[in-house]
Chains A and B, each alone.
Chain A
Amino acid sequence: MRANLFIIWSELIKNLKFLLAYPVVFVFWAIFPVFWFVPFILQGEAFVGGLQSQSFAQIAGTPEYIPFIVLGAILNSYVLTSLYGMGESIRREAYRGTLDYILSSPCNKAFILIGKALSESISSTMFAISQLLISILFFGLEMTLGIIMPVILIIILLILGLYGIALVLAAVSLRYKQAHDMAHTLEYVFYLFAPVRYPIEILPIWLQIIGKLLPLTYALIAVRSIMLLKESISFVYMEILALLIIDAIVILIGFYLFNWMEKRTKTSGTISHY
């Protein structure tokens, strides 16, 4: 058990050291959150003519659309880093020539992938924290101690689901040597069908079905219920259950697909190509 934890820790530290080797990324983290969601807030204000909308309240349950958008942006940042991070991580190992060594080591690859996922999560969390601070300081988002733990739990469940999907992308990256375009497509699927910028009820019923298959949908509904509608965690038990089911399915599919692709590329001899 200790040895496996050491693998996760080593992978995590390795990726973070790489991040620190390119410190310009911190400038990106400091500035990009502002450019990410502020235009949408300003757009909303221009359309609505104020900071609240009664027609919005009829769908979303709250007239304040700014916190609604802000929370969508914060949780969506986890989508971006997980989708792009894992596939690119595998590709980078192949590019560096280290993939052969990783795959020929006796440890269970699952722990290496967990370490990679954790390091991507830390990047996402730092990104999310800077967005959160901007939102609290400038857009009136409220954060109390009582809601931190439930929100953290929901974010963890979201991350698990996203990394199941990311494993699928990592498997694609192993076989086809790049998953960037597929990640880009999935990013827009999340963007369009999950309630990132608007409530899912805006979509036609048949498109809402797609949204209801995405872990981000349930995470956003749950977080917004807790933070904006002041509901307790027991109120969102259906969303938590849905997240657990989706997480289990996508993680199983992701690991199975990764192992299958690993075997296929080892047979075809293209495993260390990039």
Chain B
Amino acid sequence: MAKRFTKKKHRGIFGFLRRERKEERQKSEHSDVTVALDDVNIKIRSGELFGLLGPNGAGKTTLVKCLSTVLIPDKGTAVVNGFDVRKQTSMVRASLGLVIGGERTLYWKLTARDNLMYFASLYKMPRKQAGERVDELLGMMQLSDRADERLEDYSTGMRQKIAVARALLHDPPVLLLDEPTLGLDPTFSRQIRSQIRELSEKQGKTILLATHYMEEADQLCDRVAIINDGKVVAVDNPNKLKEMVKETELVEIACYNPPSGIDDSLKSLCPNADIVTLLHGDEAKGTPSRIKILGGNAEEHVSTVIDALRKKNVRISNLNVGVPTLEDVFIKLTGAKLTEGGEQ
């Protein structure tokens, strides 16, 4: 499947009066198009909890929207629960539960019950059955006692639970979850993840989980596809993916206020390393930056890097030599960072 978006050209207030020069036109021919999905080809087995791991802008949401018929792919097609997304859109939609966009996709001026009853009607559920199912889901989400309160009085986590409940209204065999824990605190994130695991293990639902949280993909998913710039670069079980960098030694140093360009100077000091990268943290929130060195001799790198950082008066808070993560797999495969702000 492929999907491209054409960027709109903004040429200023009076740009429409100005004729575009030939060089400008030639230059803009390629930059006007964003390739959101580039020949993506994956197969998800029935009952599988499949992760789609990639940074912001990788194409995860675009893929989810194409599978849910919100977007029409430019090339190729997809089959969801045996139905073609281009030709059998109603059957695809009836087979899917969708969580996309989070808490913002609900009616805040309506109660939780009203929201769920409304969306239940869109799935052609009879009214009585919809009422019973809504009660059941509110109980599952532990929100029965607040069912008749408006969503504007709910917390973000509670609204996200309602968003997940909405996806389950018609008990679909397939769930598409696009960053379901985005913006949630650790408590609610854990609850949502626990529910996702239960839906997969106990109810046998086929789940596509799009996320940029490496730990989420690692903990929950049977298989993970790593996606970057619209391309799927690897698909496998998380453990097998980590084996791609298993032989590679990893040094990870957490530090505060690293000077800019430190990763470049460390690269020259560690010529045997495959990858030296600096992942910026959010020091205002207490998250340190991390320097990761993959490949080469870990022992040599540790002493070299600590000396270099001390000379620049960088405060080191943690040192880790050891097991690569999915993020390291991502960095190795793409050369890019998975997240800007580090792990959740």
A residues lining the B interface (CB < 8 Å):
2-4, 6-7, 9-11, 13-14, 17-18, 21, 96-98, 100-107, 112, 263, 266-269, 271-272
Contact (Cβ within 8 A) A267 B65? no
Q: List 20 A-B contacts (CB under 8 A).
A: A3-B121, A6-B121, A7-B124, A14-B110, A17-B110, A96-B106, A96-B108, A98-B106, A100-B98, A100-B100, A101-B105, A101-B166, A104-B93, A105-B119, A105-B122, A263-B72, A266-B72, A269-B36, A269-B62, A269-B65
Find chain A residues with CB under 8 A from B100 CB: 100
Say which residue of B5, B70, B104, B114 sits within 8 Å of A268 (CB atoms).
B5
Say which residue of A4, A7, A11, A272 sits within 8 Å of B70 (CB atoms).
A272
Find chain A residues with CB under 8 A from B68 CB: 100, 104
Find chain A residues with CB under 8 A from B101 CB: 97, 100, 272
Contact (Cβ within 8 A) B122 A107? yes
Q: B107 at the A/B interface (Cβ < 8 Å)?
A: yes
Complex interface residues of chain B between 61 and 119 (CB less than 8 A to chain A): 62, 65, 68-72, 74, 90-91, 93-94, 96, 98, 100-101, 104-110, 114, 117-119
Q: B3 at the A/B interface (Cβ < 8 Å)?
A: yes
Contact (Cβ within 8 A) B94 A21? no
A104 to chain B, nearest CB (A): 5
Given contacts A7-B121, A10-B118, contact A106 B104 (CB under 8 A): no
Find chain B residues with CB under 8 A from A266 CB: 69-72
Closest 9 CB pairs of A and B: A105-B122, A10-B121, A106-B93, A106-B94, A3-B124, A97-B105, A97-B104, A21-B109, A266-B72
Say which residue of B72, B114, B125, B126 sits within 8 Å of A267 (CB atoms).
B72
Contact (Cβ within 8 A) A107 B124? yes
Bound Cα distance A267, B104 (Å): 23
Contact (Cβ within 8 A) B126 A6? yes
Chain B residue nearest to A96 in the complex (CB): B107
Chain B residue nearest to A95 in the complex (CB): B104
Q: B127 at the A/B interface (Cβ < 8 Å)?
A: yes
Bound Cα distance A267, B6 (Å): 11
Find chain A residues with CB under 8 A from B65 CB: 100, 269
A9 to chain B, nearest CB (A): 8
Find chain B residues with CB under 8 A from A100 CB: 65, 68, 70, 98, 100-101, 105
B1 to chain A, nearest CB (A): 14
Bound Cα distance A104, B118 (Å): 14
Find chain A residues with CB under 8 A from B71 CB: 266-267, 269, 271
Given contacts A7-B124, A14-B118, contact A106 B109 (CB under 8 A): no
Chain B residue nearest to A10 in the complex (CB): B121
Given contacts A6-B121, A104-B93, contact A14 B105 (CB under 8 A): no
B105 to chain A, nearest CB (A): 4
Find chain A residues with CB under 8 A from B124 CB: 3-4, 6-7, 106-107
Given contacts A17-B114, A104-B93, A269-B5, 4 further A-B contacts (CB under 8 A): A14-B110, A14-B114, A18-B107, A101-B122
Contact (Cβ within 8 A) A7 B122? yes
Chain A residue nearest to B127 in the complex (CB): A6
The count of chain B contact residues (Cβ–Cβ below 8 Å) is 40
Bound Cα distance A97, B107 (Å): 9
B121-153 interface bits toward A, Cβ cutoff 8 Å, 1 = contact, 0 = none: 111111100100000000000000000000000
Find chain B residues with CB under 8 A from A272 CB: 70, 101
Find chain B residues with CB under 8 A from A267 CB: 71-72, 74
Contact (Cβ within 8 A) B122 A96? no
Chain B residue nearest to A112 in the complex (CB): B122
Find chain A residues with CB under 8 A from B94 CB: 106
B340 to chain A, nearest CB (A): 24
Contact (Cβ within 8 A) B114 A96? no
Bound Cα distance A96, B118 (Å): 15
Contact (Cβ within 8 A) B122 A102? yes
Find chain B residues with CB under 8 A from A263 CB: 72
Bound Cα distance A272, B121 (Å): 21
Bound Cα distance A9, B124 (Å): 12
Bound Cα distance A14, B116 (Å): 11
Contact (Cβ within 8 A) B119 A104? no
Chain B residue nearest to A101 in the complex (CB): B105
B119 to chain A, nearest CB (A): 7
Find chain B residues with CB under 8 A from A11 CB: 118, 121
Contact (Cβ within 8 A) A98 B107? yes
B83 to chain A, nearest CB (A): 11
B99 to chain A, nearest CB (A): 10
Bound Cα distance A94, B307 (Å): 55
B182 to chain A, nearest CB (A): 13
Say which residue of A4, A96, A98, A106 sits within 8 Å of B123 (CB atoms).
A106
Bound Cα distance A13, B118 (Å): 9
Find chain B residues with CB under 8 A from A10 CB: 117-118, 121-122
Find chain B residues with CB under 8 A from A106 CB: 90-91, 93-94, 122-124
Find chain B residues with CB under 8 A from A17 CB: 109-110, 114
